[in-house]
Structure 1
């Protein structure tokens, strides 16, 4: 069952056209590398063409951000195709893979200044993390049966979280939600790309969302990953959002271990899921900032690069989402502190520009 006898030509005949591909996959993949990967297949049937399909479907644009352009079909993909994945991970995250176990730090007491962001600028914050579950294929490759079993595991683990930790919440199956309810949960229909690469197969079968009664903690099940936990706060208190996320993540991790399906961990990479962009910590810290002057400044992109953070537009005018650019190479607390310090500097720059001043002396040296 693991080996599929596809009708394919030679590696040289099958090599994709990467002439206008602006992903990391497109930059890194060579005919020689493709030949080395071509006949390999994981035990669950993932071949190398499955891995690079996302980048072929979405080749990117020369002026846009560089995406990884690939996805792991299962945890074994990171081992079997390591000479490819390691280069993508190092290029995307800007950090060398070594034999050392990635550093980990969930202690929110080590965060400095996460509860004092200027509310005139910081509107809200969101801290999220993705996790893969051991012994299951990832979203691009898993079967209907696997997806349904993952939902069953999540239901059991979340029920224990509710009962043992006194955390009331409700599990909602997507197939039971009306369009209005889906909009309230900020749930978008699958994109054409997600359908093409298999992430949204059989939608919305076995997809669900668990939401705490107060709405501050949400768990997405079988969306783009096995699990995605999201902690949000409207007071932009990143420390409290981080604390709530990781306290409950660690408890869920314990329940999954007791169910004999722990979260997926690789010695040199840390936590892994479908995308190489999320290896290491799987952590995303996002702060919504109200900015008027800084987004138009000609030094902004240079500042963001030096701070190792990203800034994207939102649906609201003059509201921008600032987040970490990488998830690998730093601990959870260090990544969160990186975003915190960056946000405070962006706010200081915005205040300087509001007063007609110059921000040159605030521009950080290259980190």
Structure 2
């Protein structure tokens, strides 16, 4: 996990990781407190709500392109019967790569996707840079995720609209990412979940389903990703709003976070939690929040005040 420091409510580390799925059961007194504190949602005996129906999204295809320049929707999944990357052995990691190869090959065949699987150990430094691959961070080394790097790490990508990429044995067993330069969140969400559900079916048929816990939903190594494992990020061009003294309060009320990027005046806005709301509800939360931030930026551009636009506390 990473800690981001700055003026705004950027993503915050939960300070711990799980070695395997059973850790959430064996050490529930500890992990439940961490999860409830981080996500702001009480764990109950009820099964977490789930909704993959992208038709229920409203306004995901009409963000103002003058401000919204890119979007990314990603999801993490753990695989049953294997330790998480923080604790898995070299043999387990290689088995996970074999499973991913089989499942992705079926995805290519049944969906006619022109995908390619690239092993990190076969990539040149230049190829790794093109794929935005960095050397393991100090945090990854410290928690064991980078053990035996780059053995059995791989990336699968398909060059079509939606920019689908699957990371294997990186920070989690699997991370699916759909990126769009037109900031069409609905299409990115659709691409991600259509292919995720296919992979879920294939992994089940391989007798290694994705890891699910009755009270938590989908679980992986980080308590910050339980529930849906879903992250929605929109890159916004903002000049005035980042300097406003009410921004931190606004972000907290909208339950979203904002962080700087490598580009000046370009900020990444994303969901603060993954647990407590369905996939569609989380995505809608970010969409509505982004639209309000854009409205505030436009108001400030015109010399106006944003006070009446500040939402009531949720």
The structure with more radius of gyration: 1
For residue 65 of structure 1, report the CA deviation from its aligned partner: 5.9
In structure 2, C-alpha distance between the alignment counterparts of 1:75 and 1:349, rounded to whole Å: 42
Please give the alpha-carbon distance, in whole angstroms, between the structure 1 residues aligned to 2:165 and 2:111.
Answer: 15
Question: Which whole-Å deviations, capped at 9, do the CAs of 1:67-103 have from their partners, x for residues lacking one?
Answer: 2111110000000000000000000000000000000
Q: In the aligned structure 2, how far is the partner of 1:216 from the partner of 1:193?
A: 28
Secondary structure (helix, strand or coil) at the match of 1:137 reads coil
Q: Deviations over 1:329-363 (max 9, x none)?
A: 00000000000000000000000000000000000
CA-to-aligned-CA distance 1:226-247 (integer Å, 9 cap, x gap) = 0000001000000000000000
Secondary structure of residue in 1 paired with 2:197 = helix
How has the CA–CA distance of structure 1 residues 193 and 204 changed in structure 2, closer, same or farther, with 3 Å as cutoff? same
- CA deviation map 1:260-300 (0-9, x unaligned): 00000000000000000000000000000000000000000
- In structure 2, the CA distance between the partners of 1:80 and 1:327, relative to structure 1 (3 Å rule), is same
Q: Distance in 2 between matches of 1:99 and 1:61?
A: 37
Q: Give the conservation status (yes or no) of the 8 Å contact 2:72–2:233.
A: yes
TM-superposition CA deviations, 1:168-213 (whole Å, max 9, x none): 11000000001111111111110122112210000000000000x5
CA 63–107 in structure 1, closer or farther in 2 if over 3 Å, else same: closer
Change (3 A) 1:290 1:61: closer
Let me know the Cα RMSD of the aligned residues. Answer: 1.6
Contact 2:154 2:167 in 1 (8 A): yes
* 1:65 to 1:246, Cα distance in 2 relative to 1, 3 A: closer
Answer whether contact 2:8 2:247 (CA < 8 A) is retained: no
Give the unaligned 5+ runs of structure 1: 1-59
Report the 3-state secondary structure (helix = DSSP H, G, I; strand = E; otherwise coil) of the residue aligned with 1:141: coil
| Residue of structure 1 equivalent to 2:285 | 338
Give CA deviations for 1:77-134 in whole Å, capped at 9, x if unaligned: 0000000000000000000000000000000000000000000000000000000000
| TM-score, length of structure 2 as denominator length | 0.96
Per the alignment, do residues 170 and 240 of structure 1 end up closer, same or farther by CA in structure 2, a change over 3 Å counting? same
Q: Distance in 2 between the 1:327 and 1:340 partners?
A: 15
Instruction: Determine the C-alpha separation between the residues in 2 that align with 1:286 and 1:105.
Output: 19
Q: TM-score normalized by structure 1?
A: 0.82
Aligned 8 A contact 2:128 2:134 in 1:
yes
The 3-state SS of whatever aligns with 1:326 is coil
Distance in 1, matches of 2:11 and 2:175, equals 23
**Partners of 2:44 and 2:215 within 8 A in 1:** yes
Give 5+ residue unaligned stretches, structure 2. 1-5
CA distance in 2, matches of 1:184, 1:141: 29
Cα contact 2:8–2:259 (8 A) shared by 1: no
- Take 1:261 and 1:355, find their aligned partners in 2: how far apart are those partners? 56
Q: Deviations over 1:32-66 (max 9, x none)?
A: xxxxxxxxxxxxxxxxxxxxxxxxxxxx9999864
After superposition, the Cα gap between the structure-2 partners of 1:62 and 1:164, relative to the gap in structure 1 and judged at 3 Å, is closer
Structure 1 pair 69–244 and aligned structure 2 pair: CA distance change class (3 A): same
Partner deviation per Cα, 1:299-329 (whole Å, 9 max, x = no partner): 0000000000000000000000000000000
Aligned mate of 2:304, from 333, 336, 357:
357
In the TM superposition, residue 167 of structure 1 has moved relative to its aligned partner by 1.1
Q: 1:63 to 1:291 in 2, by over 3 A?
A: closer
Aligned pairs for 1:23-102 (under 5 A) are 66-102=12-48
SS in 2 for 1:91: helix
Aligned partners of 2:227, 2:8: CA distance in 1, in Å? 27
Task: Decide whether aligned partners of structure 1 residues 63 and 99 sit closer, same or farther in structure 2, where only a CA change above 3 A counts.
Answer: closer
